[in-house]
Structure 1
Amino acid sequence: MSAVAWRRALSVQAVLAQAAWVGIRLMLGYRALALGADPVFLGVLASTFALPALLAALPAGRIADRRGGTAMVFIGLIMAAAGTGLLFAVPGLAFLLVASAVIGLGHLLVMVGQQTFVAHVSVTGSSDSAFGTLTAAASIGQLIGPPAVTFVATLGAGRGGAAPDTDLGLLVCIAFSLLATPAFFFLRRADARLRKKRISANSQPAGIGGVLKTPGLWRSLVVSGAVLVTVDLMYAFVPVWATEQNISATAVGLLLAVRAGVSVLSRLGLTRLIRRFGRKAMLIVSIAAAAAALLALPLTGLAGAFAVMVGLGLGLGIPQPLTMAWVTSLTHAAHHGAALGLRLTVNRFAQISLPIAMGAAAAPLGVLGIFWANAALLMGALVVVAGSDAGTQPRQEEA
């Protein structure tokens, strides 16, 4: 398979898989609200998506190396679709947590599998372009997923109100997941051939203990976790804010699409900006923009929310590839895989613990407490970046 062919197949798969993922998260939030969930439960629900990755990220990576990333993606897509389908069989808030954990595990397998595949195909050359393909496709999936799912779900509601038909929305998500699976048959040959080259070229595996001792690594992990938690909390709690403001689910989908579109645009020319201003400056400016947007969101209506989403698009689009590059710039080339695996584990720990704490904080203050607590978290990340030497050039993978 040529480079153009596998890039196209991977892009289609990543777009559909990511559209399904963000759509599922939105619909589960609305379904939980319809069942009477409070902010604390929504925080727990957000955490259950991350729990499988905390426990299974490193084993999944080792299996993907042995069996192939494409096979891992195929299994993950089927698991995510099956977990979504289970929501139609058993009602209730308790089972919502079980289903979200199953879906979360499926998404983990998709993410690990796709990143492993990209690592395999780029072993003999630069990985920047290959990982850029995956990143761009995932962002496009985030762009089209929310409006597509919420549009269908709102049509099912009958009157275009703020309470969508989550059954219809979830069916759209299942369709996205299943439509992403045929790419496996296009990608598996290239995966098998290039995986053998990678295995033969591998050096001794890196120990996590040695990676943990890397000077300054903890700073990059803290900042990465804070940014990723913000993405999670946005999908979990923007529906709560919209419900309080009597804003329709269709409008919520458009708002999140604006955020995703700005995130895509923010990465254009990013390398030139880093060369001119440095990675540290770009991290400070972008995270500050996200914090300011979160402070403003609970105080705005629908019109102001579009401006807020522009700030969030910049604040969440720029730091993600930069923190990935920061991690790899701090570690030896032979330890990049271990460092990125550690980054994923830390991210998931943050996704599990912080939403619960913020959900509890929202109990007396409502949704305002959630967004302002999240802004405080990002301000803490700003302090960490300010005291660091984040470097000026991206070194490696942007996943």
Structure 2
Amino acid sequence: MLQPTLPIPANHRNFIWVSISCGLYWFAFSLTRPIITLYAASLGLQGLSIGIVLAVYALLPMLAAIPGGFIADRFGRSTVLRAGSIMMLFSGLLYWISGGPWTLALAQLLAGLGQMAVWLAVQVLITEGPAQGNEGRFATFSLYMAIGQMLAPILSGYLADHYGYKMVFAGYILSSALLIFTSWQCRDEAPSALPSEEGEGTSHLLLRSTFDKIRRWLGQCLGLLRNPSFAVILLTTFISLFIVDVRTAYLPLHLESQGISNTKVGLLVSIGAVSALFVRPIYPRLMARLSFGWMLILTYAVSLLLLFVTPLLTNFYGIAALVFITGLALGINQPLTLSMIAHSTAPEERGLGIGLRLMSNRAAQLMDPLLFGFFTAFVSLQASFLLVGALLLACCVFTIQLHLSAERVPRPPEPYHDKKPRAST
């Protein structure tokens, strides 16, 4: 009699462990990301040199995101999560011993790859299960993410001001060690696509099976990229992550130029994450009342204010209000794109879909420092905010036009919307 009730708490426990892993990942990421820019500046790096050190973080992850999705589908999401958490721990040790640009760049390289693996795995794990009615689940997942983003920058700024950057890296090492523990509590709810060994037993057949899966995987990848609706998801992810990275990487430099301490810098970055906490109750209501097109326009318009208004503000409280308001829009984009991927991909394609989304994420984190580094070589940091904002505005307009053109093409009902059935008369 008790057996039918067992899967429910087991699934709930797994959801909690995955969400805790998500929170720890974002805590570790948010602990170091705002500080890396300031730490690189303290080592004597400037302009384009800082941009290159920051861009290195996203280089390997951008190349490995799609293969990472295939690996997650084939060998298991929890396996990828555990491997990524171990790489994060080793990157923390490199941060700790870094005293120059080369060791710092190597730490960035390893941290980027490990964090990509962790973030890919937890996203795929959270999208497993039925897609219907999962808006609340995705919003709760984003809540854990927001908590990690909220607490870490405050602690990071305080530690940097009072104990130095090495203590920040020690916190990153501890967070990575805790993540290793939680990753071993997570399990796959959907089976991985391992080839069957029953009755075969030969490496030749297993290798052929793997090649067949890779060929099918490449076909699925091209199919998703040809889908205009999925392209809109990737572009939306690129835009939102680009702005988030500006907030965590280059807003601290702007604030430092205004004479604001590291503790206050961390507080401002945390305010952006605090605003995401308000997304949990409003996101399902917005999804029920607004179309996807209007959600795009709303979130784009609000989030772009960070780039266009920041150079005009010098008051701490004015910047804090701006970060909070734009953080609302950026916080909505996270569950929005995850929900769309869950509705627009089959379970066996989830890893691939998340891998493409991660590639878009890392492309944003690669382009952000390179663009800022290039522009700051010719103009001021404040002018660079405006120039980057203009480029992103053009990207937003293109994405909206792509969505509208895709809407005009006759096709089956949109996979990322839950259509309520009409009452029969």
TM-score bracket, shorter-length normalisation: 0.7 to 0.9
**Range moving further from structure 2, 165-174 or 348-357:** 348-357
| Separation in structure 1 between the aligned mates of residue 13 and residue 344 of structure 2, nearest angstrom | 34
Q: 1:96 to 1:242 in 2, by over 3 A?
A: same
Aligned partner of 1:146 in structure 2 is 153
Answering whether residue 390 of structure 2 is matched by residue 376 of structure 1, we say yes
Matched residue SS, 1:268: helix
TM-aligned CA deviation for residue 254 of structure 1: 0.9
Matched residue SS, 1:182: helix
Q: 1:345 aligns with which of 359, 368, 385?
A: 359
Answering whether residue 274 of structure 2 is matched by residue 243 of structure 1, we say no
Aligned partner of 2:291 in structure 1 is 278
Q: Which amino acid aligns with 1:366?
A: S
TM-aligned CA deviation for residue 11 of structure 1: 2.5
Answering whether residue 191 of structure 2 is matched by residue 196 of structure 1, we say yes
Answering whether residue 58 of structure 2 is matched by residue 44 of structure 1, we say no
Q: Which amino acid aligns with 1:111?
A: W
Aligned partner of 1:182 in structure 2 is 181
Q: Where does structure 1 lack aligned partners over 5 or more consecutive residues?
A: 157-164
**Range moving further from structure 2, 232-241 or 89-98:** 89-98
Q: 1:307 aligns with which of 317, 321, 324?
A: 321
| Separation in structure 2 between the aligned mates of residue 265 and residue 76 of structure 1, nearest angstrom | 30
Q: Which amino acid aligns with 2:384?
A: I
| Separation in structure 1 between the aligned mates of residue 98 and residue 282 of structure 2, nearest angstrom | 48
TM-score normalised to the size of structure 1? 0.85
Residue-by-residue CA offset, 1:39-74 (whole Å, 9 max, x unaligned)? 222322332221122121122222223332223222
Aligned partner of 1:4 in structure 2 is 12
Q: 1:353 to 1:139 in 2, by over 3 A?
A: same
Q: 1:197 to 1:89 in 2, by over 3 A?
A: closer
Identity of aligned residues (%): 27
Q: 1:215 to 1:68 in 2, by over 3 A?
A: closer
Larger Rg: 2
Q: 1:91 to 1:334 in 2, by over 3 A?
A: closer
TM-aligned CA deviation for residue 197 of structure 1: 7.7
Aligned partner of 2:422 in structure 1 is none
**Range moving further from structure 2, 251-260 or 222-231:** 222-231
TM-aligned CA deviation for residue 168 of structure 1: 0.9
Answering whether residue 141 of structure 2 is matched by residue 134 of structure 1, we say yes
Q: Is the 8 A contact 1:275 1:393 kept in 2?
A: no
Answering whether residue 172 of structure 2 is matched by residue 173 of structure 1, we say yes
Answering whether residue 370 of structure 2 is matched by residue 362 of structure 1, we say no
| Separation in structure 2 between the aligned mates of residue 257 and residue 282 of structure 1, nearest angstrom | 24
| Separation in structure 2 between the aligned mates of residue 92 and residue 239 of structure 1, nearest angstrom | 21
TM-score normalised to the size of structure 2? 0.81
Answering whether residue 303 of structure 2 is matched by residue 290 of structure 1, we say yes
CA RMSD of aligned residues (A): 2.9
Answering whether residue 30 of structure 2 is matched by residue 22 of structure 1, we say yes
Aligned partner of 2:124 in structure 1 is 116
TM-aligned CA deviation for residue 25 of structure 1: 1.2
| Separation in structure 1 between the aligned mates of residue 324 and residue 177 of structure 2, nearest angstrom | 31
